[in-house]
Amino acid sequence: MKNYERYQPFPPLHMPDRKWPEAVITKAPIWCSVDLRDGNQALEVPMTFDQKLDFFRFLVDMGFKEIEVGFPAASDTEYRFCRALIEQNLIPEDVTIQVLTQAREHIIRKTFEALEGAHSAIVHLYNSTSTLQRDVVFGKSKEEIKKLAVDGAQLVWDLAKEYGPERFRFEYSPESFTGTEPDYAVEVCNAVLDVWHPTKEHPVIINLPSTVEMATPNVYADQIEYVCRHIHHREAVQISLHAHNDRGCAVAASELGIMAGADRVEGTLLGNGERTGNADLLVIAMNMYTQGIDPKLDFSDMQSVVDIYEESTKMSVHPRHPYAGKLVYTAFSGSHQDAIKKGMARMKEHPDRWEVPYLPIDPADVGRSYDPIIRINSQSGKGGVAYVLEQNYGLQLPKKMQQHFGGIVTDVSDRLSAELTPKDVYDLFYKTYVLTEPLALSWYEEAPQKSGSDVTLRCSLREREHEFEAEGQGNGTISALCHLLEERYGIWIEVSSYSEHSLGLGTRSKAITYIEAKDGQGKAHYGAGISSNVTKSSLRAIVSVANQILKERA
Protein backbone atom coordinates (compact mmCIF):
# COMPACT_ATOMS: atom_id res chain seq x y z
CA MET A 1 0.00 0.00 0.00
CA LYS A 2 3.01 2.31 -0.07
CA ASN A 3 2.17 2.88 -3.74
CA TYR A 4 -0.23 5.60 -2.60
CA GLU A 5 2.71 7.97 -3.20
CA ARG A 6 2.17 7.51 -6.95
CA TYR A 7 -1.18 9.32 -6.81
CA GLN A 8 -1.68 13.06 -6.78
CA PRO A 9 -4.50 14.85 -4.93
CA PHE A 10 -7.10 16.42 -7.19
CA PRO A 11 -6.77 20.22 -7.20
CA PRO A 12 -9.93 21.89 -5.86
CA LEU A 13 -11.45 25.00 -7.41
CA HIS A 14 -10.88 28.30 -5.66
CA MET A 15 -14.45 29.50 -5.30
CA PRO A 16 -14.92 31.25 -1.95
CA ASP A 17 -18.27 32.70 -3.07
CA ARG A 18 -19.79 29.33 -4.05
CA LYS A 19 -23.58 29.31 -3.64
CA TRP A 20 -24.52 25.62 -3.84
CA PRO A 21 -23.93 24.72 -0.14
CA GLU A 22 -26.93 26.86 0.77
CA ALA A 23 -29.19 25.45 -1.94
CA VAL A 24 -32.01 22.99 -1.27
CA ILE A 25 -33.41 20.48 -3.75
CA THR A 26 -37.12 21.26 -4.14
CA LYS A 27 -38.13 19.49 -7.34
CA ALA A 28 -37.14 16.57 -9.51
CA PRO A 29 -34.74 17.23 -12.40
CA ILE A 30 -35.32 16.11 -15.96
CA TRP A 31 -34.44 12.43 -15.93
CA CYS A 32 -32.71 10.61 -18.75
CA SER A 33 -32.20 6.87 -18.53
CA VAL A 34 -29.04 5.57 -20.16
CA ASP A 35 -29.68 1.93 -19.20
CA LEU A 36 -29.99 0.85 -22.82
CA ARG A 37 -26.73 2.48 -23.91
CA ASP A 38 -24.24 3.18 -21.10
CA GLY A 39 -25.66 0.40 -18.95
CA ASN A 40 -25.93 -2.10 -21.80
CA GLN A 41 -22.39 -1.54 -23.11
CA ALA A 42 -21.03 -2.42 -19.65
CA LEU A 43 -22.56 -5.91 -19.59
CA GLU A 44 -20.52 -9.07 -20.10
CA VAL A 45 -23.33 -10.23 -22.37
CA PRO A 46 -25.24 -7.24 -23.84
CA MET A 47 -29.03 -7.35 -23.91
CA THR A 48 -30.77 -9.05 -26.78
CA PHE A 49 -33.09 -7.11 -29.03
CA ASP A 50 -36.15 -8.39 -27.13
CA GLN A 51 -34.60 -7.61 -23.75
CA LYS A 52 -33.85 -4.05 -24.84
CA LEU A 53 -37.39 -3.67 -26.11
CA ASP A 54 -38.88 -4.95 -22.85
CA PHE A 55 -36.59 -2.64 -20.88
CA PHE A 56 -37.57 0.34 -23.06
CA ARG A 57 -41.26 -0.30 -22.45
CA PHE A 58 -40.59 -0.64 -18.73
CA LEU A 59 -38.76 2.71 -18.64
CA VAL A 60 -41.68 4.35 -20.43
CA ASP A 61 -44.14 2.89 -17.93
CA MET A 62 -41.99 4.19 -15.06
CA GLY A 63 -42.34 7.74 -16.35
CA PHE A 64 -39.09 8.46 -18.18
CA LYS A 65 -39.58 11.07 -20.90
CA GLU A 66 -36.02 10.96 -22.23
CA ILE A 67 -34.38 7.58 -22.91
CA GLU A 68 -31.00 7.00 -24.50
CA VAL A 69 -31.64 3.95 -26.65
CA GLY A 70 -28.15 3.27 -27.94
CA PHE A 71 -25.17 4.12 -30.12
CA PRO A 72 -26.66 3.33 -33.56
CA ALA A 73 -23.37 3.56 -35.43
CA ALA A 74 -21.62 1.15 -33.07
CA SER A 75 -23.20 -2.09 -34.29
CA ASP A 76 -25.94 -3.54 -36.46
CA THR A 77 -27.91 -4.58 -33.35
CA GLU A 78 -27.88 -1.02 -32.03
CA TYR A 79 -28.90 0.37 -35.42
CA ARG A 80 -31.73 -2.15 -35.88
CA PHE A 81 -33.09 -1.46 -32.42
CA CYS A 82 -33.32 2.25 -33.09
CA ARG A 83 -35.01 1.65 -36.42
CA ALA A 84 -37.49 -0.81 -34.91
CA LEU A 85 -38.60 1.70 -32.29
CA ILE A 86 -39.28 4.26 -35.00
CA GLU A 87 -40.72 2.05 -37.75
CA GLN A 88 -43.02 0.10 -35.41
CA ASN A 89 -44.30 3.30 -33.72
CA LEU A 90 -43.16 2.09 -30.29
CA ILE A 91 -42.17 5.53 -29.00
CA PRO A 92 -44.99 7.42 -27.23
CA GLU A 93 -45.62 10.98 -28.37
CA ASP A 94 -44.41 12.41 -25.05
CA VAL A 95 -41.15 10.41 -25.01
CA THR A 96 -37.95 11.52 -26.70
CA ILE A 97 -35.31 8.98 -27.62
CA GLN A 98 -31.64 9.91 -27.35
CA VAL A 99 -28.72 8.47 -29.30
CA LEU A 100 -24.99 8.87 -28.78
CA THR A 101 -22.43 9.75 -31.41
CA GLN A 102 -18.74 10.62 -31.43
CA ALA A 103 -17.66 13.82 -33.13
CA ARG A 104 -16.65 11.91 -36.27
CA GLU A 105 -18.27 12.45 -39.67
CA HIS A 106 -19.16 8.89 -40.70
CA ILE A 107 -20.55 8.11 -37.22
CA ILE A 108 -22.68 11.25 -37.18
CA ARG A 109 -24.11 10.47 -40.64
CA LYS A 110 -24.94 6.89 -39.63
CA THR A 111 -26.64 8.23 -36.54
CA PHE A 112 -28.98 10.45 -38.54
CA GLU A 113 -29.80 7.57 -40.86
CA ALA A 114 -30.88 5.59 -37.80
CA LEU A 115 -33.14 8.46 -36.69
CA GLU A 116 -34.96 9.02 -39.97
CA GLY A 117 -38.69 9.31 -39.27
CA ALA A 118 -38.37 9.85 -35.51
CA HIS A 119 -40.90 12.35 -34.20
CA SER A 120 -38.52 13.56 -31.47
CA ALA A 121 -34.87 12.70 -30.86
CA ILE A 122 -31.86 14.04 -28.99
CA VAL A 123 -28.57 13.74 -30.83
CA HIS A 124 -25.91 13.42 -28.14
CA LEU A 125 -22.51 14.48 -29.50
CA TYR A 126 -19.33 14.02 -27.52
CA ASN A 127 -15.56 14.19 -27.65
CA SER A 128 -13.04 13.95 -24.86
CA THR A 129 -11.52 17.19 -23.58
CA SER A 130 -9.47 16.22 -20.50
CA THR A 131 -5.77 16.95 -20.18
CA LEU A 132 -4.98 13.22 -19.93
CA GLN A 133 -7.03 12.24 -22.99
CA ARG A 134 -5.62 15.14 -25.05
CA ASP A 135 -2.09 14.07 -24.24
CA VAL A 136 -2.23 10.27 -24.05
CA VAL A 137 -5.08 9.24 -26.39
CA PHE A 138 -5.32 11.91 -29.07
CA GLY A 139 -2.03 13.80 -28.95
CA LYS A 140 -3.87 16.99 -29.86
CA SER A 141 -3.76 20.56 -28.65
CA LYS A 142 -6.62 22.44 -27.01
CA GLU A 143 -7.43 24.15 -30.30
CA GLU A 144 -7.48 20.88 -32.19
CA ILE A 145 -9.79 19.27 -29.63
CA LYS A 146 -12.13 22.28 -29.73
CA LYS A 147 -12.18 22.11 -33.52
CA LEU A 148 -13.31 18.45 -33.33
CA ALA A 149 -16.24 19.54 -31.17
CA VAL A 150 -17.16 22.51 -33.37
CA ASP A 151 -16.89 20.57 -36.62
CA GLY A 152 -19.01 17.78 -35.17
CA ALA A 153 -21.59 20.29 -33.96
CA GLN A 154 -21.73 21.92 -37.38
CA LEU A 155 -22.31 18.59 -39.13
CA VAL A 156 -25.07 17.74 -36.64
CA TRP A 157 -26.66 21.13 -37.34
CA ASP A 158 -26.47 20.68 -41.10
CA LEU A 159 -27.84 17.12 -41.09
CA ALA A 160 -30.70 18.11 -38.79
CA LYS A 161 -31.75 20.63 -41.42
CA GLU A 162 -31.80 17.88 -44.04
CA TYR A 163 -33.79 15.40 -41.95
CA GLY A 164 -36.19 17.95 -40.47
CA PRO A 165 -34.84 20.29 -37.75
CA GLU A 166 -38.10 20.37 -35.84
CA ARG A 167 -37.56 16.72 -34.88
CA PHE A 168 -34.17 17.15 -33.25
CA ARG A 169 -32.68 18.48 -30.07
CA PHE A 170 -28.96 18.64 -29.44
CA GLU A 171 -26.76 17.58 -26.56
CA TYR A 172 -23.02 18.03 -26.19
CA SER A 173 -20.71 16.32 -23.69
CA PRO A 174 -17.11 17.31 -23.08
CA GLU A 175 -16.24 13.72 -22.14
CA SER A 176 -13.99 13.42 -19.05
CA PHE A 177 -15.28 16.84 -18.02
CA THR A 178 -14.07 16.39 -14.43
CA GLY A 179 -10.49 16.00 -15.71
CA THR A 180 -10.77 19.08 -17.91
CA GLU A 181 -9.68 22.57 -16.92
CA PRO A 182 -12.99 24.32 -16.04
CA ASP A 183 -12.28 27.40 -18.14
CA TYR A 184 -11.35 25.27 -21.13
CA ALA A 185 -14.46 23.08 -20.72
CA VAL A 186 -16.58 26.25 -20.79
CA GLU A 187 -14.67 27.50 -23.83
CA VAL A 188 -15.41 24.33 -25.80
CA CYS A 189 -19.08 24.24 -24.73
CA ASN A 190 -19.58 27.88 -25.68
CA ALA A 191 -18.04 27.22 -29.09
CA VAL A 192 -20.53 24.40 -29.65
CA LEU A 193 -23.42 26.61 -28.48
CA ASP A 194 -22.37 29.27 -30.99
CA VAL A 195 -23.02 26.67 -33.71
CA TRP A 196 -26.34 25.43 -32.36
CA HIS A 197 -27.93 28.80 -31.47
CA PRO A 198 -30.05 27.70 -28.46
CA THR A 199 -33.22 29.55 -27.52
CA LYS A 200 -35.66 29.19 -24.65
CA GLU A 201 -38.08 27.52 -27.04
CA HIS A 202 -35.39 25.14 -28.36
CA PRO A 203 -32.85 24.67 -25.56
CA VAL A 204 -29.59 22.79 -25.93
CA ILE A 205 -28.33 20.25 -23.40
CA ILE A 206 -24.80 20.63 -22.11
CA ASN A 207 -23.94 17.40 -20.36
CA LEU A 208 -21.07 17.54 -17.88
CA PRO A 209 -19.99 13.97 -17.25
CA SER A 210 -17.91 12.72 -14.37
CA THR A 211 -16.67 10.08 -16.79
CA VAL A 212 -14.21 8.95 -14.17
CA GLU A 213 -14.95 10.09 -10.63
CA MET A 214 -11.77 11.86 -9.58
CA ALA A 215 -12.59 13.88 -6.46
CA THR A 216 -15.06 14.36 -3.65
CA PRO A 217 -18.64 15.31 -4.60
CA ASN A 218 -18.20 18.90 -3.44
CA VAL A 219 -15.53 19.41 -6.11
CA TYR A 220 -17.97 18.20 -8.80
CA ALA A 221 -20.53 20.65 -7.45
CA ASP A 222 -17.99 23.47 -7.70
CA GLN A 223 -17.27 22.50 -11.30
CA ILE A 224 -20.99 22.51 -12.14
CA GLU A 225 -21.55 25.88 -10.50
CA TYR A 226 -18.55 27.29 -12.37
CA VAL A 227 -20.00 26.21 -15.72
CA CYS A 228 -23.46 27.52 -14.79
CA ARG A 229 -21.90 30.92 -14.11
CA HIS A 230 -19.83 31.14 -17.29
CA ILE A 231 -21.79 29.27 -19.96
CA HIS A 232 -23.35 31.38 -22.70
CA HIS A 233 -27.14 31.44 -23.21
CA ARG A 234 -27.69 29.99 -19.72
CA GLU A 235 -31.46 30.55 -19.91
CA ALA A 236 -31.53 28.43 -23.11
CA VAL A 237 -29.20 25.68 -21.85
CA GLN A 238 -30.11 22.64 -19.80
CA ILE A 239 -27.13 21.69 -17.66
CA SER A 240 -27.05 17.91 -17.40
CA LEU A 241 -25.14 15.56 -15.08
CA HIS A 242 -23.73 12.15 -15.88
CA ALA A 243 -21.80 10.86 -12.87
CA HIS A 244 -19.89 7.60 -12.67
CA ASN A 245 -19.24 5.83 -9.41
CA ASP A 246 -15.49 5.18 -9.28
CA ARG A 247 -15.25 6.62 -5.77
CA GLY A 248 -18.66 5.33 -4.72
CA CYS A 249 -20.10 8.85 -4.61
CA ALA A 250 -22.08 9.18 -7.86
CA VAL A 251 -25.39 9.67 -6.07
CA ALA A 252 -23.97 12.31 -3.73
CA ALA A 253 -22.17 14.03 -6.60
CA SER A 254 -25.41 14.17 -8.60
CA GLU A 255 -27.38 15.56 -5.66
CA LEU A 256 -24.77 18.25 -5.04
CA GLY A 257 -24.67 18.92 -8.78
CA ILE A 258 -28.41 19.59 -8.74
CA MET A 259 -27.87 21.98 -5.84
CA ALA A 260 -25.17 23.67 -7.93
CA GLY A 261 -27.64 24.44 -10.71
CA ALA A 262 -28.01 21.37 -12.90
CA ASP A 263 -31.40 20.88 -14.59
CA ARG A 264 -31.08 17.30 -15.76
CA VAL A 265 -29.60 13.98 -14.60
CA GLU A 266 -28.50 11.01 -16.68
CA GLY A 267 -28.02 7.64 -15.03
CA THR A 268 -29.23 4.07 -14.77
CA LEU A 269 -31.56 2.07 -12.59
CA LEU A 270 -29.64 0.42 -9.76
CA GLY A 271 -26.43 2.05 -10.99
CA ASN A 272 -25.47 -0.37 -13.75
CA GLY A 273 -22.56 0.88 -15.81
CA GLU A 274 -18.90 0.51 -16.63
CA ARG A 275 -16.36 -0.11 -13.84
CA THR A 276 -18.26 0.69 -10.64
CA GLY A 277 -21.31 1.95 -12.48
CA ASN A 278 -23.35 5.07 -13.13
CA ALA A 279 -25.32 7.28 -10.82
CA ASP A 280 -28.26 5.25 -9.54
CA LEU A 281 -31.42 7.06 -10.61
CA LEU A 282 -33.52 4.86 -8.36
CA VAL A 283 -31.64 6.03 -5.27
CA ILE A 284 -31.54 9.70 -6.30
CA ALA A 285 -35.28 9.70 -7.01
CA MET A 286 -36.18 7.84 -3.82
CA ASN A 287 -33.95 10.15 -1.78
CA MET A 288 -36.11 13.01 -3.05
CA TYR A 289 -39.23 11.02 -2.19
CA THR A 290 -38.09 10.76 1.45
CA GLN A 291 -37.93 14.57 1.54
CA GLY A 292 -41.52 14.99 0.38
CA ILE A 293 -40.61 15.70 -3.26
CA ASP A 294 -42.45 14.05 -6.14
CA PRO A 295 -39.67 12.28 -8.09
CA LYS A 296 -41.84 12.04 -11.23
CA LEU A 297 -40.87 8.37 -11.56
CA ASP A 298 -42.98 5.43 -10.43
CA PHE A 299 -41.26 3.08 -7.98
CA SER A 300 -44.48 1.82 -6.38
CA ASP A 301 -43.60 -1.73 -7.50
CA MET A 302 -39.95 -1.96 -6.52
CA GLN A 303 -39.79 -5.68 -7.13
CA SER A 304 -40.61 -5.17 -10.81
CA VAL A 305 -37.54 -2.92 -11.10
CA VAL A 306 -35.39 -5.61 -9.51
CA ASP A 307 -36.90 -8.29 -11.74
CA ILE A 308 -36.28 -6.57 -15.06
CA TYR A 309 -32.80 -5.50 -13.99
CA GLU A 310 -31.79 -9.02 -13.03
CA GLU A 311 -33.42 -10.56 -16.10
CA SER A 312 -31.87 -8.08 -18.52
CA THR A 313 -28.39 -7.70 -17.04
CA LYS A 314 -27.94 -11.19 -15.54
CA MET A 315 -26.63 -9.48 -12.41
CA SER A 316 -28.07 -9.62 -8.90
CA VAL A 317 -29.31 -6.75 -6.79
CA HIS A 318 -27.43 -6.64 -3.51
CA PRO A 319 -29.76 -7.47 -0.59
CA ARG A 320 -28.65 -4.23 1.09
CA HIS A 321 -29.05 -2.02 -1.99
CA PRO A 322 -30.86 1.17 -0.89
CA TYR A 323 -34.64 0.97 -1.29
CA ALA A 324 -34.54 -2.11 -3.58
CA GLY A 325 -32.63 -4.81 -1.69
CA LYS A 326 -34.63 -7.61 -0.12
CA LEU A 327 -33.22 -6.90 3.35
CA VAL A 328 -33.39 -3.09 3.47
CA TYR A 329 -36.72 -3.08 5.30
CA THR A 330 -35.68 -5.87 7.65
CA ALA A 331 -34.25 -5.56 11.14
CA PHE A 332 -32.36 -8.30 12.94
CA SER A 333 -30.95 -6.16 15.76
CA GLY A 334 -32.96 -6.37 18.96
CA SER A 335 -32.87 -2.63 19.69
CA HIS A 336 -33.87 -1.81 16.11
CA GLN A 337 -36.72 -4.29 16.25
CA ASP A 338 -38.03 -2.83 19.48
CA ALA A 339 -37.90 0.72 18.09
CA ILE A 340 -39.66 -0.30 14.85
CA LYS A 341 -42.37 -2.13 16.83
CA LYS A 342 -43.04 0.97 18.94
CA GLY A 343 -42.90 3.26 15.91
CA MET A 344 -45.43 1.17 14.00
CA ALA A 345 -47.76 1.29 17.00
CA ARG A 346 -47.39 5.08 17.27
CA MET A 347 -48.19 5.49 13.57
CA LYS A 348 -51.83 4.79 14.41
CA GLU A 349 -51.92 8.25 15.99
CA HIS A 350 -50.69 10.07 12.85
CA PRO A 351 -51.14 7.86 9.76
CA ASP A 352 -50.61 10.83 7.40
CA ARG A 353 -47.06 11.47 8.63
CA TRP A 354 -44.48 8.70 8.35
CA GLU A 355 -42.22 8.54 11.38
CA VAL A 356 -40.88 5.11 12.23
CA PRO A 357 -37.35 4.61 13.61
CA TYR A 358 -34.92 2.94 11.22
CA LEU A 359 -37.41 3.02 8.31
CA PRO A 360 -36.94 6.17 6.19
CA ILE A 361 -39.96 5.23 4.05
CA ASP A 362 -43.07 3.11 4.42
CA PRO A 363 -42.23 -0.21 2.73
CA ALA A 364 -45.78 -0.31 1.38
CA ASP A 365 -45.02 2.78 -0.73
CA VAL A 366 -42.70 0.69 -2.91
CA GLY A 367 -44.88 -2.41 -2.94
CA ARG A 368 -43.20 -4.22 -0.08
CA SER A 369 -45.19 -5.83 2.74
CA TYR A 370 -44.65 -5.40 6.45
CA ASP A 371 -44.10 -9.14 6.97
CA PRO A 372 -40.32 -9.19 6.64
CA ILE A 373 -39.60 -5.90 8.45
CA ILE A 374 -38.47 -7.78 11.55
CA ARG A 375 -36.71 -11.09 11.15
CA ILE A 376 -35.25 -13.24 13.86
CA ASN A 377 -31.71 -14.46 14.37
CA SER A 378 -29.21 -14.54 17.20
CA GLN A 379 -28.93 -10.73 17.13
CA SER A 380 -32.63 -10.21 17.70
CA GLY A 381 -34.21 -9.06 20.93
CA LYS A 382 -37.46 -9.36 22.82
CA GLY A 383 -39.10 -6.53 20.86
CA GLY A 384 -38.52 -8.22 17.51
CA VAL A 385 -39.69 -11.61 18.77
CA ALA A 386 -42.83 -10.06 20.23
CA TYR A 387 -43.51 -8.16 16.98
CA VAL A 388 -43.25 -11.31 14.86
CA LEU A 389 -45.62 -13.24 17.13
CA GLU A 390 -48.14 -10.40 17.24
CA GLN A 391 -48.08 -9.61 13.51
CA ASN A 392 -48.25 -13.22 12.36
CA TYR A 393 -50.18 -15.00 15.12
CA GLY A 394 -51.93 -12.33 17.16
CA LEU A 395 -50.01 -13.11 20.37
CA GLN A 396 -49.49 -10.19 22.76
CA LEU A 397 -46.82 -11.37 25.18
CA PRO A 398 -46.46 -9.54 28.51
CA LYS A 399 -43.18 -7.63 28.83
CA LYS A 400 -41.48 -10.03 31.25
CA MET A 401 -42.49 -12.98 29.13
CA GLN A 402 -41.09 -11.17 26.05
CA GLN A 403 -37.74 -10.88 27.78
CA HIS A 404 -37.75 -14.51 28.89
CA PHE A 405 -38.72 -15.85 25.47
CA GLY A 406 -36.36 -13.47 23.65
CA GLY A 407 -33.44 -15.11 25.41
CA ILE A 408 -34.66 -18.58 24.42
CA VAL A 409 -35.01 -17.56 20.77
CA THR A 410 -31.53 -16.02 20.74
CA ASP A 411 -30.01 -19.20 22.18
CA VAL A 412 -31.73 -21.41 19.62
CA SER A 413 -30.80 -19.20 16.64
CA ASP A 414 -27.23 -18.92 17.89
CA ARG A 415 -26.93 -22.68 18.32
CA LEU A 416 -28.32 -23.33 14.83
CA SER A 417 -26.41 -20.42 13.26
CA ALA A 418 -29.57 -19.68 11.30
CA GLU A 419 -32.44 -17.26 10.94
CA LEU A 420 -35.76 -18.38 12.42
CA THR A 421 -38.93 -17.97 10.37
CA PRO A 422 -42.12 -16.68 12.03
CA LYS A 423 -43.39 -20.26 12.12
CA ASP A 424 -40.16 -21.38 13.76
CA VAL A 425 -40.63 -18.73 16.43
CA TYR A 426 -44.27 -19.68 17.00
CA ASP A 427 -43.44 -23.39 17.21
CA LEU A 428 -40.73 -22.62 19.76
CA PHE A 429 -43.18 -20.51 21.78
CA TYR A 430 -45.74 -23.31 21.72
CA LYS A 431 -43.20 -25.92 22.70
CA THR A 432 -41.86 -23.76 25.52
CA TYR A 433 -45.07 -22.45 27.08
CA VAL A 434 -48.13 -24.28 25.72
CA LEU A 435 -47.29 -27.89 24.88
CA THR A 436 -48.35 -30.05 27.87
CA GLU A 437 -45.91 -32.70 28.95
CA PRO A 438 -45.86 -34.65 31.18
CA LEU A 439 -49.15 -33.20 32.58
CA ALA A 440 -52.22 -32.20 30.59
CA LEU A 441 -55.66 -30.98 31.66
CA SER A 442 -58.49 -32.87 29.93
CA TRP A 443 -61.62 -31.46 31.60
CA TYR A 444 -62.69 -29.67 34.74
CA GLU A 445 -65.75 -28.62 36.72
CA GLU A 446 -66.08 -26.44 39.77
CA ALA A 447 -68.55 -26.16 42.63
CA PRO A 448 -68.66 -23.80 45.63
CA GLN A 449 -68.12 -25.24 49.10
CA LYS A 450 -71.01 -25.17 51.45
CA SER A 451 -69.42 -22.27 53.29
CA GLY A 452 -69.40 -20.30 50.02
CA SER A 453 -65.85 -19.09 50.62
CA ASP A 454 -63.90 -21.72 48.68
CA VAL A 455 -64.16 -23.49 45.35
CA THR A 456 -63.83 -27.18 44.76
CA LEU A 457 -62.19 -28.04 41.45
CA ARG A 458 -62.75 -31.46 39.98
CA CYS A 459 -60.65 -32.25 36.95
CA SER A 460 -59.14 -34.96 34.86
CA LEU A 461 -55.37 -34.86 34.47
CA ARG A 462 -53.31 -36.93 32.10
CA GLU A 463 -49.80 -37.84 33.19
CA ARG A 464 -48.13 -39.23 30.07
CA GLU A 465 -50.21 -42.35 29.27
CA HIS A 466 -52.04 -42.41 32.62
CA GLU A 467 -55.25 -40.39 33.12
CA PHE A 468 -56.87 -39.83 36.52
CA GLU A 469 -59.39 -37.63 38.27
CA ALA A 470 -58.43 -35.35 41.15
CA GLU A 471 -59.84 -32.63 43.41
CA GLY A 472 -58.51 -29.43 44.92
CA GLN A 473 -59.88 -26.56 46.97
CA GLY A 474 -59.05 -22.90 47.00
CA ASN A 475 -60.51 -19.40 47.03
CA GLY A 476 -60.79 -19.56 43.24
CA THR A 477 -60.43 -22.00 40.39
CA ILE A 478 -56.73 -21.23 39.78
CA SER A 479 -55.98 -21.39 43.49
CA ALA A 480 -57.76 -24.75 43.72
CA LEU A 481 -55.62 -26.19 40.92
CA CYS A 482 -52.44 -24.87 42.56
CA HIS A 483 -53.38 -26.58 45.85
CA LEU A 484 -54.14 -29.83 43.98
CA LEU A 485 -50.72 -29.77 42.32
CA GLU A 486 -49.01 -28.99 45.62
CA GLU A 487 -50.74 -31.88 47.42
CA ARG A 488 -50.11 -34.43 44.66
CA TYR A 489 -46.66 -33.41 43.36
CA GLY A 490 -45.23 -31.14 46.04
CA ILE A 491 -45.20 -28.24 43.57
CA TRP A 492 -45.67 -24.80 45.13
CA ILE A 493 -46.95 -22.22 42.65
CA GLU A 494 -47.69 -18.57 43.41
CA VAL A 495 -49.21 -16.58 40.53
CA SER A 496 -47.61 -13.12 40.30
CA SER A 497 -48.96 -11.92 36.95
CA TYR A 498 -51.96 -12.86 34.81
CA SER A 499 -53.20 -11.61 31.43
CA GLU A 500 -55.36 -12.93 28.63
CA HIS A 501 -56.79 -11.92 25.29
CA SER A 502 -58.80 -13.29 22.41
CA LEU A 503 -57.05 -14.85 19.44
CA GLY A 504 -59.82 -13.94 17.01
CA LEU A 505 -63.26 -12.47 16.54
CA GLY A 506 -66.63 -14.00 17.20
CA THR A 507 -68.14 -16.35 19.75
CA ARG A 508 -66.03 -19.31 18.61
CA SER A 509 -62.68 -17.57 18.92
CA LYS A 510 -60.07 -18.96 21.27
CA ALA A 511 -58.48 -17.21 24.22
CA ILE A 512 -54.89 -17.33 25.38
CA THR A 513 -53.81 -16.79 28.95
CA TYR A 514 -50.29 -15.86 30.04
CA ILE A 515 -49.16 -16.53 33.60
CA GLU A 516 -46.03 -15.60 35.48
CA ALA A 517 -45.61 -17.63 38.66
CA LYS A 518 -42.94 -18.25 41.27
CA ASP A 519 -41.97 -21.64 42.66
CA GLY A 520 -40.97 -22.49 46.23
CA GLN A 521 -37.47 -21.05 45.67
CA GLY A 522 -38.81 -17.78 44.31
CA LYS A 523 -37.79 -18.53 40.71
CA ALA A 524 -40.07 -17.09 38.01
CA HIS A 525 -41.72 -19.40 35.49
CA TYR A 526 -43.94 -18.54 32.53
CA GLY A 527 -46.82 -20.51 31.09
CA ALA A 528 -49.55 -20.10 28.48
CA GLY A 529 -52.79 -21.88 27.81
CA ILE A 530 -55.14 -21.80 24.83
CA SER A 531 -58.82 -22.74 24.82
CA SER A 532 -62.19 -21.48 23.65
CA ASN A 533 -62.98 -21.32 27.40
CA VAL A 534 -61.12 -18.55 29.24
CA THR A 535 -61.05 -20.41 32.55
CA LYS A 536 -59.73 -23.55 30.89
CA SER A 537 -56.99 -21.53 29.13
CA SER A 538 -55.97 -20.19 32.58
CA LEU A 539 -55.85 -23.67 34.11
CA ARG A 540 -53.77 -24.94 31.18
CA ALA A 541 -51.31 -22.09 31.73
CA ILE A 542 -50.91 -23.23 35.37
CA VAL A 543 -50.33 -26.81 34.20
CA SER A 544 -47.66 -25.48 31.80
CA VAL A 545 -45.83 -23.86 34.73
CA ALA A 546 -46.10 -27.12 36.69
CA ASN A 547 -44.58 -29.02 33.76
CA GLN A 548 -41.59 -26.68 33.70
CA ILE A 549 -41.01 -27.16 37.42
CA LEU A 550 -41.30 -30.94 37.08
CA LYS A 551 -38.80 -30.98 34.20
CA GLU A 552 -36.30 -28.95 36.23
CA ARG A 553 -36.78 -31.27 39.18
CA ALA A 554 -36.12 -34.30 36.96
CA end-to-end distance (rounded Å), the chain: 62
Output 553 or 366, whichever has higher pLDDT: 366
Average pLDDT estimate for 44-57: 95
Dihedral of the alpha carbons of 71, 50, 35, 70, in degrees to the nearest 10:
10
The 3 state secondary structure assigned to 477-500 is HHHHHHHHHHHHHCCCCEEEEEEE
Residue 507 reports pLDDT greater than 90: no
User: Over 80: is that where the pLDDT of 24 sits?
Assistant: yes
Alpha helices in 417-476 (DSSP H): 422-429
Rounded Cα gap, residues 206 and 198, in angstroms: 11
> pLDDT band for position 377 (50/70/90)?
low
pLDDT of amino acid 376:
66
Q: Say if residue 455's pLDDT is above 90.
A: no
Residue 79: the pLDDT is 96
pLDDT of residue 410: 86
Helices (H) and strands (E) in the chain, counts: 17, 14
Give me the pLDDT at residue 373, please. Answer: 63
Predicted confidence at residue 452, as pLDDT, reads: 62
Which of 147-151, 167-171, 373-377 has the least mean pLDDT? Answer: 373-377
Q: Provide, rounded to the nearest whole percent, the portion of the chain with pLDDT above 90.
A: 78
Q: State the pLDDT at residue 288.
A: 98
- What pLDDT sits at residue 240? 98
What confidence tier does 210 reach under pLDDT thresholds 50, 70, 90? very high
What is the percent of the chain where pLDDT is above 70? 96
pLDDT attached to residue 31:
98
For the cut 90, the answer to whether the pLDDT of residue 168 exceeds it is yes
Position 188 scores a pLDDT of: 98
Q: Where are the domains of the chain?
A: 14-313, 334-433, 435-553
pTM passes above 0.85: no
Position 420 confidence tier, pLDDT thresholds 50, 70, 90 = confident
Neighbours of 531 (CB within 10 A): 17
DSSP letters spanning 316-357: ---TTSTTTSTTTT-B-SHHHHHHHHHHHHHGGG-TTS--BT
Reply yes or no on whether the pLDDT at 375 is more than 80: no
Higher pLDDT, 78 or 448: 78
Report domain 14-313's class. alpha beta
43: pLDDT strictly greater than 90: yes
Q: What is the pLDDT of residue 451?
A: 60
Q: Which of 10, 61, 5 is nearest to 33 (CA)?
A: 61
Q: Which pLDDT value is given to residue 160? A: 97
Residues 184-203 have a mean pLDDT of: 98
The answer, yes or no, to whether residue 36 has pLDDT greater than 90, is yes
265, pLDDT greater than 90: yes
User: What is the average pLDDT value for the chain, to the nearest integer?
Assistant: 93
Whether the pLDDT of residue 372 is over 60: the answer is: no
Q: How confident is the model at residue 87 (pLDDT cuts 50, 70, 90)?
A: very high
Residue 369: pLDDT over 80: no
Q: Are 55 and 35 in contact (CB under 8 A)?
A: yes
In the CATH scheme, what is the code of domain 435-553?
A: 3.30.160.270
pLDDT band (50, 70, 90) for residue 132 = very high
Per-residue pLDDT tens over the stretch 464-478: 888 899 999 898 899
* Helical segments of 88-242, H only: 105-114, 131-132, 142-163, 182-196, 217-230
| Confidence band of 270 (pLDDT split at 50, 70, 90) | very high
The answer, yes or no, to whether residue 449 has pLDDT greater than 70, is no
Which pLDDT value is given to residue 370? 61
pLDDT at 340 over 90: no
* 329, pLDDT greater than 80: yes
In degrees rounded to 5, what are phi and psi of residue 244? -95, 170
Q: Quick one: average pLDDT of 335-357?
A: 89
pLDDT of residue 229: 98
Long-range own/partner contacts, residues 103-109 (CB < 8 A, 24 or more apart): 103/127, 103/148, 103/149, 103/151, 103/152, 103/153, 104/152, 105/155, 106/73, 107/73, 108/152, 108/155, 108/156, 108/159, 109/155, 109/159
Q: Name residue 268's beta-bridge partners.
A: 280
Among 28-37, 81-90, 451-460, 532-541, where is mean pLDDT lowest?
A: 451-460
User: 56 and 50 in contact (C-beta within 8 Å)?
Assistant: no
